Structure 1
Amino acid sequence: MNDAAPRLAALAETLLGAPLPVRIRAWDGSEAGPLGGPTLVLNHRRALRRILWKPGELGLARAWVAGDLTVEGDLFDLLDRVGGLLWERDPAAPGQDAGSRGPAALLRDPAARAAVRSLVGLARPWPAPAPPPEEALRRGGARHTKGSDRQAISHHYDVGNAFYERVLGPSMVYSCAYWSPGGSLEDAQRDKLDLVCRKLALRPGDRLLDVGCGWGSMALHAAREYGVRVTGITLSREQAAYARKRVAEEGLADLVEIRVQDYRDVKDGPYDAISSIGMAEHVGAERYRTYAQSLYGLLRPGGRLLNHQIARRPEPDEEAYRIDEFIDAYVFPDGELSPVGTTVGELERAGFEVRDVEALREHYALTLRAWVARLEEHWEEAVRLTSPGRARVWQLYMAASALGFEHNRLGVNQVLAVRTGPRSGSGMPLRAREWPA
């Protein structure tokens, strides 16, 4: 009897206390749920086992990465509907402990207990399914040492430059673009790089340190368009090799040096300016003061820092903040997000004067949607260049992140800070945001 999907739908609604937001199709071909939208397809009973063994985002993500769970229709629409259950549940009532909404409290309800027993019977959950192979990073020891950071960066970026070419396009910029109406991804990334250069007030002959230089796009733009001498640093050997090749091809080797180097090991200051674009998310909360102090010490008096960084919304209780399990296991090992206020405070404690903060939240949502479109357009190549699991990781990560920015769960900010000199002047324009053209 093919009735798995109706049974799943009824049990899910009992546990969620809400109507099922999407249609589901089970491994036996049965379907249930609302018509007219995307369908969540459980290709194997193992998908349900993964969710039962690891309830929440990580179990769902493992099922997705393994191909046990797929989507027919618009992935963004499905994630948006399901997100209301995963990320946007009503907060606890005043005086109510957050744990009272957890599994222990849920299972005090006889109907919920019966539903879980039925799910276990439907899933036949033994033994526990192993996580999808070769995708999650296995590690131990302290986080954010030089060695662990090098390993984490390699996991994320050393998956093949050709794969990133398919996703990012010719710009090879892996950070939020700066969009204008009707513009292309290439236009938006060029405009972002130029905005950073103008905020830093770069002039011919200046020394620029590009921290987390990626595939060299910022270094190339600054040298080509502004005549500055650039030192780009990255922990990814594949990125460095790719960036050096681009530098040589453009004939800019006299202006651009690319190093495989940790920011903590840079000792050849002072620099006139520092750009850090999409790198500080890897630093870690316990190392952020070191990061800020290191960059401050590398600038000359009057030098500028442009720190472009993803932010999360503040937690009511910051001690309760937990790193996202899926992101940590499959995407950015050891990556941590902080509220923008925390970032500004740490920069000020290091000695910087913060002069401007610009929020680009909507711009990142547009950027991520463009990357997902490129990935799906080049899907077969992306799978061939990496693996089916890796391609699915990036598809889910980028689509879910786009919705995170659209729903204001995530933000991204450019913080312009100055190492002020012995005099009161900062060298900034008197009118805010009159960045030099």
Structure 2
Amino acid sequence: MTDNQSIQATSAPDASDSELHRAISDLLATADIRIGGKRPWDIQLNAPGVIERAITKGNLGFGEAYMDGDWDAERLDEFFYRLLSCQLDQHFKPRTQLLYFLSATLRNLQQGKRVWKVAQVHYDLGNEFYQAMLDPRMNYSCGYWKNADNLAAAQEAKLDLICRKLGLQPGMRVLDIGCGWGGFMGYAAEHYGVECVGFTVSQAQAEWIRAHYAGLPIEVRLQDYREVEGKFDRIASIGMFEHVGRKNHPEFMRVANEALTENGLLLLHTIGKNRTRTVTDPWTEKYIFPNGDLPSIRQIADASEGLFVAEDLENFGADYDKTLMAWHTNFEAAWPNFRDTLGDRFYRMWRYYLLSCAGAFRARDLQLWQWVFSRRGVRGGYVRP
């Protein structure tokens, strides 16, 4: 099979099992992956039908087969790194892919009651669970590992980098859109003397912030970003834009623009994709981040046009690989405390999520961008700290 050939869902019924498995084996070999091999990244088939599920349903079927225990790889992160580095995912084109694209393109999946679904499914799993997996400040976004050798240091470095990029000064009023468990607000209030307001759609996150930052000038609101009121000197949005959706990018930028003072700055920290005309992975959408939609550079630039000057753009997507692997280490260590309540199928789902994402960032299939925007342009030019 040549590199430019694709395995279509319609071909499965016409191919014998041996021919199909041989074709898949040859394809995987181009990524140095063997079926039944002994290396950590080789795939082990534990039940029939795995290949057929991958062909007919893409990563949705492949991921569900893993959750069912039908296949394994000792190092899922390395398996997906090799798979995505060679873009083998592009060879599988299930019929459902067009339906996902049309749904994301024609419908607004991130408004009304849908806004709250990701919190119900994902962020409200339990503060104890995330406390076991994340760093002490409960940052659930990419750390900055340039001079860090552990997760806590990488997350503190990320928070300080954001504060310096925003040029925070004592007395400033700062808005955090999608504030998570308040890690940025807590750090900014403690180290830079600012007053913070945070928006979240997660009840669990709001309760955590109120309990842990009661003595700081921090207010948390259980509201959608479209309900922002008042003016702020600075705005940060860290790991939330992935939930906004392509149809709402312009509205997000308009809301941020109207909430900023004349000389204000917006820092946007977001995962991004390399191509515009793609949709959220269906397995991730179903099991991890309902109604998620990763932006491309073009989509962010288009949404900001006429509203902001793009002062700075930094990509440290490779750091998300390290962050995810650190989360996975913590998750594995803490799992015995959650096995009875969450169950083995959840364990395999969460392992698939963390390690497949680590492999995607390692392969540079996904990116992590920090944008700095100003309303009118920084006089004399913006200087990255």
Q: TM-score, normalised by structure 2?
A: 0.84
* Among candidates 408, 422, 426, match of residue 378 of structure 2: 426
CA distance 1:159–1:290, shift in 2 (3 Å): same
Mark the structure with the bigger radius of gyration. Answer: 1
Cα shift readout 1:245-265 (whole Å, capped 9, x = no counterpart)? 1112xx21xx00111011111
Asked if 1:169 corresponds to 2:135, the answer is yes
* Among candidates 110, 116, 141, match of residue 150 of structure 1: 116
Instruction: Identify the residue that residue 40 of structure 1 maps to in structure 2.
Output: 43
Q: CA deviation at 1:167?
A: 1.5
Asked if 1:190 corresponds to 2:156, the answer is yes
Question: 2:234–2:260: 8 Å Cα contact kept in structure 1?
Answer: yes
CA distance 1:357–1:51, shift in 2 (3 Å): closer
Asked if 1:259 corresponds to 2:225, the answer is no
Tell me the distance in 2 between the aligned counterparts of 1:19 and 1:147: 42
Q: CA deviation at 1:16?
A: 5.5
CA distance 1:35–1:64, shift in 2 (3 Å): closer
Q: CA deviation at 1:50?
A: 4.5
Percentage of matched positions with identical amino acids: 33
Instruction: Identify the residue that residue 196 of structure 2 maps to in structure 1.
Output: 230
Q: CA deviation at 1:159?
A: 0.8
Tell me the distance in 2 between the aligned counterparts of 1:10 and 1:34: 19
Q: CA deviation at 1:160?
A: 0.9
Instruction: Identify the residue that residue 332 of structure 2 maps to in structure 1.
Output: 376
Amino acid at match of 1:395: R
DSSP 3-state at the match of 1:378? helix
CA distance 1:273–1:195, shift in 2 (3 Å): same
Question: 2:177–2:198: 8 Å Cα contact kept in structure 1?
Answer: yes
Q: CA deviation at 1:67?
A: 2.8
Question: 1:162–1:385: 8 Å Cα contact kept in structure 2?
Answer: no
DSSP 3-state at the match of 1:170? coil
CA distance 1:160–1:12, shift in 2 (3 Å): same
Instruction: Identify the residue that residue 57 of structure 1 maps to in structure 2.
Output: 59
Q: CA deviation at 1:314?
A: 1.8
Tell me the distance in 2 between the aligned counterparts of 1:49 and 1:18: 15
Q: TM-score, normalised by structure 1?
A: 0.75
Asked if 1:347 corresponds to 2:304, the answer is yes
Instruction: Identify the residue that residue 332 of structure 1 maps to in structure 2.
Output: 289
Query: Which of 1 and 2 has higher RCO (CA within 8 Å, sep 6+)?
Result: 2
Cα shift readout 1:336-373 (whole Å, capped 9, x = no counterpart)? 11212321231133x11111111111111211121122
Tell me the distance in 2 between the aligned counterparts of 1:397 and 1:260: 27
Instruction: Identify the residue that residue 171 of structure 2 maps to in structure 1.
Output: 205
Tell me the distance in 2 between the aligned counterparts of 1:48 and 1:19: 12
DSSP 3-state at the match of 2:142? coil
Tell me the distance in 2 between the aligned counterparts of 1:400 and 1:271: 38
Segments of structure 1 that go 5 or more residues without pairing to the other structure are 1-6, 25-32, 91-100, 105-140
CA distance 1:102–1:329, shift in 2 (3 Å): closer
CA distance 1:56–1:85, shift in 2 (3 Å): farther
Question: 2:242–2:293: 8 Å Cα contact kept in structure 1?
Answer: yes
Amino acid at match of 1:13: R
Question: Larger deviation: 288-297 or 386-395?
Answer: 386-395
DSSP 3-state at the match of 2:290? coil
Amino acid at match of 1:426: V
Amino acid at match of 2:293: E
Tell me the distance in 2 between the aligned counterparts of 1:181 and 1:301: 34
Question: 1:231–1:256: 8 Å Cα contact kept in structure 2?
Answer: yes
Aligned residues: 357
Describe how 1:102-181 pairs up with structure 2 within 5 A.
143-181=109-147
RMSD: 2.6
Tell me the distance in 2 between the aligned counterparts of 1:229 and 1:201: 14
* Among candidates 371, 374, 378, match of residue 415 of structure 1: 371
* Among candidates 185, 195, 202, match of residue 219 of structure 1: 185
